[in-house]
């Protein structure tokens, strides 16, 4: 499974503030993606969520996912204030709706498994126009795909795993939508994988210390 890992410096421009564990992991994921490429995000997240042995694994994974969805939803909300062409505006609206639904579902799921939904982080995005919006949208959606795929095998509950699957498929479709809007190949690789663990884990070690 050949990797086509390319660094995504744009993800370094997304600022996620806050002291929740989810915000911490997401900051790390974005930093790792910026330096080593989206394919490294999955392994990073996998390791980060596995590190915290005291907390319930599924709740931590769900709260990380919730943080990611908060960031995405806020991103698409801010995008609506930009001067976008009608097609791209419609895309931002649809994708924003999906992310808000994911937030609601994840919060409910966290309640059901007996956890406490994490707070929404403060975020800022360097988006000025359609071009910078699409560029960053791609980064966020690819981060989402890689993060869900990386964390999912660590999920204990079958119900939570099924729910994560229902969401990651939508994130992958979003990634394809955005790439198509940018006239890029919607599926650049045969595998959205995160399998080259050994090399990656060493590289991401510095980012996983809290």
Partner 1 sequence: MQDWITKTPTRDEAGAVERLERDPASRKRFLRMMGGAGAATAFATFLAACGSGSDSGSGSGSDNGGQPSAGAPAANPAGGAAATREGSPDPRVGTTDLEIVGYALTLEQLETAFYADVVESGLFRGADLDMIEQFGEHEREHRETLEATVEMLGGDVPKAPKTKFPLESPGSVLRLAAEVENVGAAAYLGQANRIRSEEVLAAALSIHSVEARHAATLNALVGLPPEPQGSFAVPASMEEVLTGVQRFIVS
Please report, as ranges, the residues that interact with partner 1 according to CB under 8 A. Answer: 1, 94, 97-98, 101-102, 104-105, 108-109, 112-113, 145, 148-149, 152-163, 165-177, 180, 185-187, 189-195
Nearest to 140 by CA among 54, 76, 202: 76
Q: Closer to partner 1 by CB, 22 or 150: give it.
A: 150
Count CA atoms closer than 13 A to 75's CA, side-chain side: 31
CB of 31 to partner 1, least distance (A): 22
How far is it, in rounded angstroms, from Cα 135 to Cα 184? 11
CB of 83 to partner 1, least distance (A): 23
Q: Do 192 and 169 form a contact (C-beta atoms < 8 A)? A: no
Q: Closer to partner 1 by CB, 12 or 186: give it.
A: 186
| 3-class state of residue 16 by DSSP | strand
CB of 94 to partner 1, least distance (A): 7
Q: Closer to partner 1 by CB, 13 or 157: give it.
A: 157
CB of 159 to partner 1, least distance (A): 5
Q: Please, which residues have CB within 8 angstroms of residue 71's CB and are 6 or more apart in sequence?
A: 14, 16, 26, 121, 123, 140
CB of 42 to partner 1, least distance (A): 8
Q: Closer to partner 1 by CB, 127 or 175: give it.
A: 175
CB-based burial label for 6 (10 Å; 0-12, 13-18, 19+): exposed
Q: Closer to partner 1 by CB, 185 or 206: give it.
A: 185
């Amino acid at each position: 499974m050949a990797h086509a890992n390319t660094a995504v410096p744009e993800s370094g421009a997304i600022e996620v503030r806050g002291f929740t564990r989810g915000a911490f992991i997401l900051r790390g994921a974005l930093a790792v993606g910026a330096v080593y490429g989206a394919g490294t995000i999955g392994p990073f997240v996998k390791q980060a969520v596995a590190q915290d042995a005291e907390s319930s694994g599924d709740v931590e994974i769900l709260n990380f996912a919730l943080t990611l969805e908060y960031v995405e939803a806020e991103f698409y909300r801010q995008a609506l204030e930009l001067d976008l062409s009608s097609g791209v505006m419609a895309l931002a609206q649809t994708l924003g709706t999906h992310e808000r639904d994911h937030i609601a579902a994840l919060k409910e799921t966290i309640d059901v498994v007996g956890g406490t939904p994490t707070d929404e982080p403060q975020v800022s995005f360097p988006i000025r126009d359609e071009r910078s919006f699409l560029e960053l949208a791609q980064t966020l959606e690819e981060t989402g795909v890689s993060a869900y795929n990386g964390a999912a095998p660590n999920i204990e509950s079958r119900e939570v795993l099924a729910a994560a699957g229902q969401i990651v498929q939508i994130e992958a479709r979003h990634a394809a939508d955005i790439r198509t809007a940018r006239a890029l190949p919607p599926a650049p690789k045969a595998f959205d994988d995160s399998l080259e663990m050994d090399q990656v884990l060493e590289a991401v070690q510095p980012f996983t210390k809290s």
